[in-house]
A and B are shown apart, each in its own frame.
Chain A
Amino acid sequence: MRTPFRKTAGKVALWILTFVLMVIMCVPGLWVVLTAFRPNAEVLAKPPVWIPEDPGLTNFAKIFGFAADQVAIPVPSYFANSLIIALTSTAIALLIGMSGGYAFARYRFRFKNGIFLGLMLSRTVPGIALSLPVFIIWSKLGLIDTKPGLIIVYVALNVPFTIWLIDGFFRQIPKEMSEAAQVDGCTRWQAFWKIEFPLAKSGIASAGIFAFLTSWNEYALASNLTRSTDSKTLPVGLMDFTAQFTIDWAGMSAMAVIIIIPALILTFLVQKHLIAGLTFGGVKG
């Protein structure tokens, strides 16, 4: 039916398309990464310098305060804030999510669908719209510009999605497993920790990574609920660069790389589980 020529032509077209796609996907990011390793003068040069002529780590040294002409932006404390806030909120969201996800996966109860829908809809509230009342209430409670203030918000932000994912992972484990363990002499609590938890562990870990990245990347709420080095996170800190009259593209790119790295590594780790979790939770209801 198909001639060999058409077959080969089709294959070539396939590869060209894929190549163009990958260029569009990768070039903007790669350009930022390249910029992070070159001096600002080279960024601004006309005609443009494509391949870095003088690559180095000076930009990183500058933003972390190891170089002579330090940038006036406290990146180390932003980094520490981001890490503390993301890790703490992830840990709490996972505990809450495990408990809730287990309830949805294993029990039948009144208002089950209603509660599930309610939790999911809470996630749809745009961060910026939520930030207004939270900002007012948090100022009354003295939570503005504190780490706990942001942690609480991020827990709430992550709980619905964590429940969705973990529910899916628990569903994949047959109910009979836990029943067998209970007949074998376990309490429900023991059956959970000895049988169901170990089986869902990798799925739960990927839900955790997803929650971590959500917190790590969040901007709309953080930019309005934080003020100072006490609680400002990296994405908010990135905007500090644009506040200056001349944008320090090189420094900003170096900071961008710092924000990207965890995302790249963690994405690579969870990709398989994440797809499984999203589709399973969705398709099999």
Chain B
Amino acid sequence: MAEITLDKVVKRYGKLEVVHGIDLKIAHNEFVVLVGPSGCGKSTTLRMIAGLEDISDGAIRIGGDVVNDLPPRKRNISMVFQNYALYPHMSVRENLGFGLKIAKQDPKMIEERVAEAAETLGLDALLDRTPAELSGGQRQRVAMGRAIVRHPEAFLFDEPLSNLDAKLRVQMRTEIKKLHQKVKTTVVYVTHDQVEAMTLADRIVIMRDGNIEQVGTPMEVFDHPLNTFVASFIGSPPMNLLPATVRGGAVHFTDGKSLPVPSRLAGKVRDGQEVTFGLRPDDLTPQGHGIAEGGERAQMELEVILSEPLGTETILYTTIAGQEAQGKMYGPRPVSPGERLVFDVALEKAHLFDAATGRSVAAD
């Protein structure tokens, strides 16, 4: 069993605390993605799991044993680094077999494992090259191969795709997912790219400033963000967040426009409460251009400032309460700037956050 548990884990550099006592349970064979903006403590957390950073406080368990004082080599994990960290003075074959050689394994067994990993990742033809002779994607594959040959209890990935160009990144993303389905091991994956997090993860851990903001499956964090940070971080284009006040069962914006309080949230707000109204662009669509009609709806007439056609949809920029808001037009037609359109607001998908705390009112 390779379950990984973090129990009130703290990291301090001198007086500066960068990870503030986080708790996390990662199940056997689960693919967990730590995501957040740079400096949120996600890489530090991963490096503490790997044993590359000391744990200042709390405990980390791998497979039930506390590993706080174990050096990386005794944790039975493997890691793929951001810059791959391939050993430049060794061939691909030697790179793959290095960990097993250090563990003084039988040469025949090393041979087999290397061949197996090479086959899994399509590296057979490259085994005798050196890292310098490989392309970016190939290096990435060797780095992954080096991780899988040892059959570790867990894989750790530290922003492994950030050095690849956009096209290759998408391709490698699918390969990582396929690899996980093939080898079935616990994976902890760090990235700052929320699309990567959404597509790869069984569960996403969203971090900010050394704290965990929310943990959940991709759909959970997308559909039920716990606070404005998660709401704005997950999803592209980001959720529109508009300041408003609740009065008499309606949400009033500063420019006098108002919308009814979504019925599922009706009992969760009080009169006079300052809130942030959250609505994804997908849920703000001109009439006749939404994906699904029906459901709880409200209408708003808005002026289009700018339109960005993307093919199957067009992003529309407008203003609500003096703030820029984005909507989407499916089955698009040309729109000219200044045009006024009536928009459908999908109220059943709208969110309300307390303005003072930023927390979702649905969560309390």
Asked if A and B form a direct contact in the complex, defined as CB atoms under 8 angstroms apart, the reply is: yes
Of B82-90, B206-214, B248-256, B322-330, the one contacting chain A is: B82-90
Stretch of A1-9, A155-163, A175-183 on the interface side: A175-183
Q: Tell me whether A183 and B77 are in contact (CB under 8 A).
A: yes
Question: From B81, which residue of chain A is reached at the shortest CB distance?
Answer: A176
Please measure, in the bound complex, the distance between the C-alpha atom of A199 and the C-alpha atom of B88, giving whole angstroms. Answer: 8
Q: For B351, what are the chain A residues with a Cβ–Cβ distance below 8 Å?
A: none
Q: Does B99 contact A (CB under 8 A)?
A: yes
Tell me which of A184, A195, A199 has the highest count of chain B C-beta atoms within 10 A of its own C-beta: A184
Asked if B73 is at the interface of the complex by the 8 Å CB criterion, the answer is yes
B102 CB within 8 Å of chain A? yes
In the bound complex, residues from chain B placing their C-beta under 8 Å from that of A199 are: 88-89
Interface size class of B (residues with CB under 8 A): 20 to 34
Assess whether B89 is in contact with A187, with CB atoms less than 8 Å apart: no
Decide if B73 touches A184 in the complex (CB within 8 Å): yes
Given contacts A185-B99, A198-B89, contact A176 B82 (CB under 8 A): yes
On chain A, the residues within 8 Å of B73 by CB distance are 182-187
Residues of A within 8 A of B79 (CB): 179-180, 183
Q: Which residues of A contact B146 (CB under 8 A)?
A: 180, 184
Q: Name the distance in Å between A106's Cβ and chain B's nearest Cβ.
A: 12
Rounded to whole Å, the gap between the CB of A29 and the closest CB of chain B is: 38
Q: Which chain A residues border B71 with CB–CB below 8 Å?
A: 182, 187-188
Whether B89 and A180, one on each chain, are in contact in the complex, defined by CB atoms closer than 8 angstroms, is no
Is B99 within 8 A of A184, CB to CB?
yes
Q: Mark A190-204, 1 if CB is under 8 A from B, else 0.
A: 100011001100000
Cβ of A174 under 8 Å from chain B: yes
- Please tell me if the beta carbons of B103 and A185 are within 8 angstroms of each other in the complex: yes
In the assembled complex, the Cα of A188 lies from the Cα of B72 at a distance in Å of 10
Asked whether, in the complex, the Cβ of B103 is within 8 Å of the Cβ of A180, the reply is no
B219 interfacial contact with A, CB 8 Å: no
Cross-chain contact of B78 among A176, A183, A186, A194 (Cβ < 8 A): A183
- In the bound complex, residues from chain A placing their C-beta under 8 Å from that of B85 are 174, 176-177, 179-180
In chain B, residues 182-234, which have Cβ atoms closer than 8 Å to a Cβ of chain A?
A: none
Given A184-B146, A185-B102, A190-B102, CB of A179 within 8 Å of CB of B89: no
* B98 sits at the interface (CB 8 A): yes
Contacts of B83 in A (CB 8 A): 174, 176
Q: Kindly list chain B residues whose C-beta atoms are within 8 Å of the C-beta of A188.
A: 71
Category for how many chain A residues contact B: 10 to 19
Which residues of chain B in 46-95 are interfacial with respect to chain A, using CB atoms and an 8 Å cutoff?
A: 50-52, 71-73, 77-79, 81-83, 85, 87-89
Could you say which residues of chain B place their CB within 8 Å of the CB of A174?
83, 85
Which of B77, B81, B103 sits near A179, CB closer than 8 Å? B81
Chain A residues, Cβ within 8 Å of B51: 182-183
How far, in Å, is B322 (CB) from chain A's closest CB? 47
In the complex, what's the smallest C-beta–C-beta distance from A158 to chain B, in angstroms?
27
Instruction: Indicate whether B150 reaches chain A with its CB closer than 8 angstroms.
Output: yes
- Measured in the bound complex, the distance between the Cα atoms of B83 and A185 in whole Å is 19
Quick one: given A187-B71, A187-B73, A198-B89, are A181 and B98 in contact (CB under 8 Å)? yes
Q: Are B99 and A177 in contact (CB under 8 A)?
A: no
B156: chain A residues at CB < 8 Å are: 183
User: Whole-angstrom distance between the alpha carbons of A57 and B77 in the complex?
Assistant: 67
Q: Mark B146-173 against chain A: 1 for CB-CB distance below 8 A, else 0.
A: 1000100000100000000000000000
Residue in chain A with minimal CB distance to B78: A183
Distance in angstroms from B325 CB to nearest chain A CB is 43
Residue in A180, A186, A188, A195 whose Cβ sees the most chain B Cβ within 10 Å:
A180
Residue of A176, A194, A199 contacting most chain B CB atoms (<10 Å): A176
Contact with B along A167-179 (1 / 0, CB 8 A): 0000000101101
Instruction: Mark B87-120 against chain A: 1 for CB-CB distance below 8 A, else 0.
Output: 1110000000011001100000000000000000
- CB–CB B87/A195 < 8 A: yes
Chain B hits for A182, CB < 8 A:
51-52, 71-73
- Give chain B residues whose Cβ lies under 8 Å from the Cβ of A190: 102
Contact (A177, B72) CB under 8 Å given A184-B98, A184-B146, A185-B102: no
CA distance A214 to B200 in the complex (A): 58
Query: Nearest residue in A to B73 (C-beta to C-beta)?
Result: A185
Assembled-state Cα–Cα distance A183/B103 (Å): 12
Chain A residues with CB below 8 A from B150, complex form? 184-185
Determine the distance from Cα of A225 to Cα of B109 in the docked complex, in whole angstroms: 61
A183 and B87 contacting across the interface, CB-CB below 8 Å: no
Considering the chains assembled together, what is the distance between the CA atoms of A172 and B198 in angstroms?
Answer: 36
Cα–Cα, bound, A181→B85 (Å): 9
Q: Which residues of the other chain, B, contact A194 by a CB distance below 8 angstroms?
A: 98, 102
Taking the closest CB of chain B, its distance from the CB of A152, in whole angstroms, is 35
Q: How far is the CB of A186 from chain B (nearest CB, A)?
A: 5
Cα A198 to Cα B89 with chains together (Å): 8
What 6 A-B pairs have minimum CB-CB distances, sorted nearest first? A184-B99, A176-B85, A180-B85, A182-B72, A185-B102, A185-B73
User: A194-B102, A199-B89 provided; 18 other pairs, C-beta below 8 A?
Assistant: A179-B52, A180-B81, A180-B85, A180-B146, A181-B102, A182-B73, A183-B50, A183-B51, A183-B156, A184-B98, A184-B102, A184-B150, A186-B102, A187-B71, A187-B73, A194-B98, A195-B87, A198-B89
**Subset of 9 A-B contacts with CB under 8 Å:** A174-B85, A179-B52, A179-B79, A181-B102, A182-B52, A183-B51, A183-B77, A184-B102, A194-B98
Question: A residues engaging B (CB < 8 A)?
Answer: 174, 176-177, 179-188, 190, 194-195, 198-199
Residues of B whose CB lies within 8 Å of any CB of A are 50-52, 71-73, 77-79, 81-83, 85, 87-89, 98-99, 102-103, 146, 150, 156
